[in-house]
Amino acid sequence: MALSTALVAGVVTLAVAPFAVLLAYVLRIATVARRTAADCGPFMLQREIPEDRLD
């Protein structure tokens, strides 16, 4: 009985581990993006090219 419980626990751990790693990466990227872009505001495309860059 103890062997089957340990087996089920191991299988569940192996099944959930990739999702936990993915979640950790997503949270890390979100945190870095939040701290980095705090002063920049939202990313917006320029409507036209500035004249000094038309070389």
CA–CA dist 30, 20 (Å, integer): 15
Residue 9 clears pLDDT 90, i.e. is over it: yes
pLDDT given for residue 55 in this prediction: 54
- Residues 14-51 pLDDT 10s: 999 999 999 999 999 988 887 776 555 555 556 666 66
CA–CA dist 35, 17 (Å, integer): 27
pLDDT given for residue 34 in this prediction: 79
CA–CA dist 32, 16 (Å, integer): 25
Sorting pLDDT into bands at 50, 70 and 90, what band is 54? low
What pTM was computed for the model? Answer: 0.56
Q: Which position has the higher pLDDT, 39 or 4?
A: 4
